[in-house]
Amino acid sequence: MSGPIRLALVGMGKIARDQHLPAIASNPDIVLAATVSRHGEGEAGVPFFHSIEELAASGVEIDAVALCTPPQPRRAIAHFAIQQGWHVFLEKPPGATLAEVEALRDAADAKGVSLFASWHSRYAAGVEPARAWLATRDIRAVTITWREDVRVWHPGQDWIFEAGGFGVFDPGINALSIATRVLPRPFFVETAELDVPANRAAPIAARIAFRDAAGAPVTMDLDFRQEGPQSWDIVVETDAGTLTLAKGGGELSIAGGGEHAGDTDLHGEYPGLYRRFADIVRAGSSDVDITPLRLVADSFLTARINAIEPFDW
């Protein structure tokens, strides 16, 4: 492919405007060619459509799409895009189920287009240095604390508490995307406990106990009701001291010393995602790691469900 990748952004919600648009604008290998949204408006001077079918029928030349819709309808949109011969960037989580992501991967392979299951937290500044340091360490225990205020990050977005919306696992899968990247051994769900409000279908809090392949415990505490300072921390106890990834992977300290303090804003992560997407499109390959999604699915499969008081905005 010569020239920049002509990309359509599908789903013009908060994450698209806050993260995707700035990252696209900063990447010389990608140009915003269209936007698509059932609700709201597009960008000035850029063709806007209410559905991906309208986009396909318009004649606007497109090479790729980035899908920022909620996960529930995403498979059908992605499959339609693949059939047009467009490369597909999937916002996390890549789909509502494992089966549909695997089907999209097979469809992309058959069509000869690239599919990217993006995990933005893996592009936080401290993640790769942490992975390198942990590669030769004996892992003793891991504690993941991921607590944030849903009213701040998803204000009024009822879809996140609907079936297939993931609830507190929408941010929790970010933690799992980091943990599965930096820890040298796979880990597996042993027990899970999910707190589901009486008027919702997805959990607002969760506690999961994992164990890695060598027997080290990995515990995770998720909560969507955190007020004040937010907590996005992974603490790894090793034979050589304690490694801490704080602020969603943006800050790394080892044995109490600050080793890496990078850009802790998400604006540092999405440019990395788009660089990776451009690379795989140019290479004619795909990048579809479903390990974090599988751990979420396993948590739901093994969970004890606690019905708690209703949640309202």
Under 8 Å between Cβ of 234 and 175: yes
- Residue range 121-262+297-308 forms a domain whose CATH class is alpha beta
Sketch the domain layout of the chain as residue ranges.
5-117, 121-262+297-308
pLDDT at 3: 87
pTM: 0.94
Structure tokens at 240: 């050589």
pLDDT at 255: 86
pLDDT at 181: 98
Under 8 Å between Cβ of 219 and 210: yes
Domain 5-117 has CATH 3.30.540.10: no
Active site residues: 92
pLDDT at 102: 97
pLDDT at 39: 82
**Distance of alpha carbon 242 from alpha carbon 236, whole angstroms:** 6
Concatenated DSSP letters of 34-73: EEE-SSS---TTS-EESSHHHHHHHT---SEEEE-S-STT
**Distance of alpha carbon 307 from alpha carbon 313, whole angstroms:** 18
pLDDT tens digits, one per residue of 214-268? 999 999 999 999 999 999 999 999 999 999 999 999 999 998 665 555 554 555 8
Ranges of residues in the chain with a pLDDT under 70 are: 1, 256-267
pLDDT at 265: 53
CB atoms within 10 A of CB 297: 16
